[in-house]
Structure 1
Amino acid sequence: MNFFNGIIHNQVFIACFLAWFIAQLIKVVLTYFFENRFDASRFVGSGGMPSSHTSFVTSLATAVGLVSGYESSEFALSLVLALVVMYDAAGVRRSVGKQAQILNAIIDDFQKHRKDPLNEERLKELIGHTPIEVFAGAILGILIAHLVV
C-alpha cells in the first residue's frame, strides 16, 4: 500500500484532519454570524472559537486511545502532546496575543505624534485562545474521533 492510500484509510489521521477542518470552518461561520462579514482567512488563521489546535490533538489522543487502547504507550504519548498543545494555546500563545495588542496600541499612539511614520507592520493579535475556546476545541475533537473511529 502506498503512502497516500495508507493516509486516506488511516482512521486516526482522518479523525484529526476532520476535527481541524470542522473547527476552522466553525470559525468562518461564527465570524460571518457575529460580525456580518465573510472572512476566508479565518479558515487558516489561528486563535478564535473553537481552538483547532486543541480539536486536532484531542481527536488524535482519543482516536489513538480507541484504536490502540487507553493503556497503550501510544495513547500516553498522544495525551501528553495534547496537554502541552492545550496549555500552550491557552497560556503562552494567549499572553503573546495580549502583548501584541498592547504593543500595537503603543505604536498607534506613537505614530500620532511623529511626522515620519514607522514602517512597521502591526503585530498579529489573535494568536492564542481563552480557556472556553480550548474547552470547545477539546469537546469537538473528542466527539469527531468517536464519530470517525
Structure 2
Amino acid sequence: MVRLGDFGVSTVFFSPSSFVTSRIFHNYPLISALMAFSLSQSLKFFTAWFKERRCDLKLLIGSGGMPSSHSATVTALALAIGFQDGFDSSLFAASTVFASIVMYDASGVRLHAGKQAEILNQMVYELPPEHPLAETSPLQELLGHTPLQVVVGAILGFTTAAITHLIRLTFMLS
C-alpha cells in the first residue's frame, strides 16, 4: 500500500495492481486519444479495402495517409484534457502546444522526408543491376501527411473528444 498524502496529493490508498486496472479505464483523456487513434487507423484500412479491394493490415499501425492518426490522437488528447481540467489549465495549454508541434511536423518535415524517399527509391531503381546499391531495400515513402490529411485528422480528434465527453457526462449525471 502507498499513501500519497505525504507528497502533497490528496490522500489515496491503493495497491499497485488494483489501482492501475481500475483507474486506467477512467482516464478520459487517454481513452479519448486511443479511440481517435483506433478510428483513424481503421478508416485508413477500410478506405483501402473499399477503394482498392486490398487487405493491408499494415495500415492499422502504419503512419501516413488519410486521415492523420497523429493529428486525431493529439487533438483528442488536448481537447479531452480541456474538457476535464478546463480550457484555462496549464495542462491544456501544454497539450495544445505539443499537439501543434506534432501536426506541424506531420505535414512538414515528415511529409518532405517521404517525398525525398520517393526520389531516392526511383534513383536506386534506375541503377544498373551491377551497381553496388542496386539491391538496396526501398525506403518507406508514406511518412508524413498533406495539410488536408492533418486537418481531417484534427476534425476526427475533435469529434471523438466531444462525443466521449458527452458520453462521460451522461454516465456522470445518471
Q: Same fold (TM over 0.5)?
A: yes
Cα distance in 2 for partners of 1:119, 1:106 equals 12
Indicate yes or no: 2:153 matched with 1:137.
yes
Give 2:41's match in structure 1, choosing from 18, 24, 34.
Answer: 24
Cα distance in 1 for partners of 2:129, 2:20 equals 57
Give 2:92's match in structure 1, choosing from 52, 66, 75.
Answer: 75
Indicate yes or no: 2:21 matched with 1:13.
no
Could you list the per-position Cα deviations for residues 1-48 of structure 1 after superposition, in whole angstroms to 9, with x for gaps in the alignment?
511321111111110000000000000011112211111110001000
The amino acid of 2:94's aligned partner reads L
Report the aligned-residue RMSD: 1.1
Cα distance in 2 for partners of 1:41, 1:4 equals 29
Partner of 1:54: 71
Could you list the per-position Cα deviations for residues 26-76 of structure 1 after superposition, in whole angstroms to 9, with x for gaps in the alignment?
000111122111111100010000000110000011001101111110100
Partner of 1:87: 104
- Cα shift at 1:116: 5.5
Give 1:114's match in structure 2, choosing from 106, 129, 147.
Answer: 129
Which gives a bigger RCO, structure 1 or 2 (Cα 8 Å, sep 6+)? Answer: 1
Provide the aligned length of Structure 1 versus Structure 2. 147
Partner of 2:116: 99
Give me the TM-score of the superposition, normalised by structure 2.
0.81
Q: Classify the secondary structure of the residue corresponding to 2:126.
A: helix
Cα distance in 2 for partners of 1:4, 1:91 equals 38
3-12 or 51-60, which deviates more: 3-12
Cα distance in 1 for partners of 2:44, 2:118 equals 21
Partner of 1:126: 142
The amino acid of 2:117's aligned partner reads A
Give me the TM-score of the superposition, normalised by structure 1.
0.95
31-40 or 123-132, which deviates more: 31-40
The amino acid of 1:8's aligned partner reads F
Q: Which runs of 5+ in 2 are unaligned?
A: 1-17, 166-174
Return the index of the structure with the highest Cα Rg: 2
Indicate yes or no: 2:147 matched with 1:148.
no
Q: Which runs of 5+ in 1 are unaligned?
A: none
Q: Classify the secondary structure of the residue corresponding to 1:2.
A: helix
3-12 or 46-55, which deviates more: 3-12
Q: Deviating runs (4+, > 2 A) in structure 1?
A: 114-119
The amino acid of 1:136's aligned partner reads V
Percent identical across equivalent pairs? 44
The amino acid of 1:94's aligned partner reads L
